[in-house]
């Protein structure tokens, strides 16, 4: 039996992108505390920070905003492809297919030059929100809303999704959520992206691997699981009984626990506050109140803290976003981190190829011919 299952605490890469101290609840991008970024930065600025390793100067910030806005449009063939997918397709599957297909229309898809990869990082980051919004509208039989290059990623995503300009408070809340989800060291999807990149496969292939990995309920899929749980429980009065029942059946409560944090996930601190603010401003605090109660029970009974996915669920739900878009929205942000890690992997590459402890029948076993089995 392996002593370390799931590569727990194994250091598998050197990286200068994201620093986490799980015992002190610290998360920083390029050494800048995520609390400072959540309060003062923007998603576009964080993209520059992750890709370049430093904050942009004023002109550089204007350039990155302009570039992401300019690259937001997706090829017409891609919209046609999205339209051919079944309306019942899981949006994460549609996103994975679309990002993979984007390679065929990206003139630099196979170009492994550093500058080409930097341009692809901008392009993929810009396009991914357009894909999520377009697929959602297509499956509802609505017209796709074309991007507006003059808007920020958060503003334009909400507009392309809903067909109308979002309130400034909603845009700010969404932008903060994008900042908080942008990177998280060697989480499972980023690791998958780096494993793919380490074979010297291209950026679209690496991001496609990452999207497939993010989908799982133990990773990015947990935020959708949280909302489903809140919906199933239905009311504050039923929380205690339901959570205890689930725990007694050894079920995992989505949005709790973390491989790295032994204390509060610093992203949850912001998302809890945002959930409270959005709830109070809308006058409907039901989801927030239920979430607080679940958190209290989990702290007391299991000594487990909320992670990034717990309060993002109620925030997105209160912004009117469909639950099955929560995980694609995680990708709309994490694409910035994935692409930063892929470029870092290329810059100092070695194939990632671990070993397995063999537990099968002892060697050698005879090969028994078909008619003797």
Ligand X SMILES: CC(C)(COP(=O)(O)OP(=O)(O)OC[C@H]1O[C@@H](n2cnc3c(N)ncnc32)[C@H](O)[C@@H]1OP(=O)(O)O)[C@@H](O)C(=O)NCCC(=O)NCCS
Q: Which of the stretches 124-132, 170-178, 256-264, 337-345 binds ligand X when contact is defined by CB under 6 A?
A: 256-264
Q: How far is the CB of 6 from ligand X (least distance, A)?
A: 5
Q: Which of residues 27-46 bind ligand X (CB under 6 A)?
A: none
Q: Does residue 244 bind ligand X (CB under 6 A)? A: no
Rounded distance between C-alpha atoms, residue 202 and residue 190, angstroms? 15
Q: Which of residues 108-167 bind ligand X (CB under 6 A)?
A: none
Q: Does residue 233 bind ligand X (CB under 6 A)? A: no
Q: How far is the CB of 287 from ligand X (least distance, A)?
A: 17
List the one residue from 161, 173, 254, 294 that touches ligand X (CB under 6 A): 254
Q: Residue 238: CA atoms inside 13 Å, Cβ hemisphere, count?
A: 11
Q: Does residue 228 bind ligand X (CB under 6 A)? A: no
Q: How far is the CB of 197 from ligand X (least distance, A)?
A: 22
Q: How far is the CB of 24 from ligand X (least distance, A)?
A: 18
Q: Under a CB-based contact definition with an 8 Å cutoff, are residues 101 and 118 in contact?
A: no
Q: Does residue 68 bind ligand X (CB under 6 A)? A: no
Phi, psi (5° rounding) for residue 285?
-100, 10
Per-residue contact string for residues 259-298; x = within reach of ligand X by CB under 6 A: x---------------------------------------
Token duo for residue 170: 């909603």
How many C-beta atoms surround the C-beta of residue 94 within 10 A?
23
Q: How far is the CB of 245 from ligand X (least distance, A)?
A: 13
Q: How many residues line the site for ligand X (CB under 6 A)? A: 17
From 242, 214, 247, 216, select the one nearest 229 (Cα to Cα): 242
Q: Which is nearer to ligand X, 179 or 198 (CB)?
A: 179
How far is CA 258 from each of CA 33, 299, 309, rounded to the nearest angstrom?
19, 13, 11
From 30, 58, 71, 1, select the one nearest 341 (Cα to Cα): 30
What is the per-residue burial (b if ≥16 Cβ within 10 Å, else e) of 281-296?
A: eeeebebbbbbbbbbe
- Could you tell me how far CA 15 lies from the centroid of its own chain? 19
Q: Which is nearer to ligand X, 11 or 370 (CB)?
A: 11
Given the rule CB under 6 A, which residues bind ligand X? 6, 218-219, 222, 252-259, 302, 304, 307-309
């Amino acid at each position: 039996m392996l002593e370390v299952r799931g590569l727990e605490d194994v250091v598998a890469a050197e990286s200068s992108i994201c620093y986490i101290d799980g015992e002190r609840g610290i998360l920083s991008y390029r050494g800048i505390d995520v609390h400072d970024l959540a309060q003062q930065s923007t998603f576009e600025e964080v993209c520059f920070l992750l890709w370049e390793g430093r904050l942009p100067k004023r002109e550089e910030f204007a350039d990155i905003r302009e570039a992401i806005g300019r690259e937001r449009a997706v090829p017409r063939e891609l919209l046609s492809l999205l339209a051919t997918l079944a309306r019942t397709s899981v949006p994460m599957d549609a996103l994975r297919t679309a990002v993979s297909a984007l390679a065929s229309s990206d003139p630099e898809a196979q170009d492994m030059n550093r500058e080409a990869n930097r341009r692809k990082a901008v392009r993929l980051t810009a396009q991914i929100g357009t894909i999520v919004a377009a697929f959602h509208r297509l499956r509802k039989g609505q017209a796709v809303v074309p991007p507006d290059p003059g808007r920020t990623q958060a503003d334009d995503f909400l507009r392309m999704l809903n067909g109308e300009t979002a309130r400034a408070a909603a845009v700010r809340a969404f932008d903060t959520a994008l900042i908080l989800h942008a990177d998280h060291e060697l989480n499972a999807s980023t690791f998958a992206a780096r494993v793919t990149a380490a074979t010297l496969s291209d950026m679209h292939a690496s991001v496609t691997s990452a999207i497939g990995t993010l989908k799982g309920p133990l990773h990015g899929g947990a935020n959708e699981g949280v909302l489903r749980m809140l919906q199933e429980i239905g009311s504050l009065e039923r929380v205690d009984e339901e959570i205890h029942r689930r725990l007694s059946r050894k079920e995992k409560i989505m949005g709790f626990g973390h491989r790295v944090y032994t204390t509060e996930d610093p992203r949850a601190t912001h998302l809890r506050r945002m959930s409270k603010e959005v709830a109070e401003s809308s006058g409907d605090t039901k989801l927030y109140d239920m979430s607080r109660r679940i958190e209290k029970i989990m702290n007391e009974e299991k000594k487990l803290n909320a992670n990034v996915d717990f309060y993002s669920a109620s925030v997105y739900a209160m912004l009117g976003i469909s639950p099955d878009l929560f995980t694609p929205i995680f990708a709309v942000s994490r694409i910035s981190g994935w692409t930063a890690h892929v470029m870092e992997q290329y810059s100092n590459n070695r194939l990632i190829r671990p070993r397995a402890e063999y537990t099968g029948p002892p060697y050698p076993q005879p090969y028994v011919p078909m008619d003797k089995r």
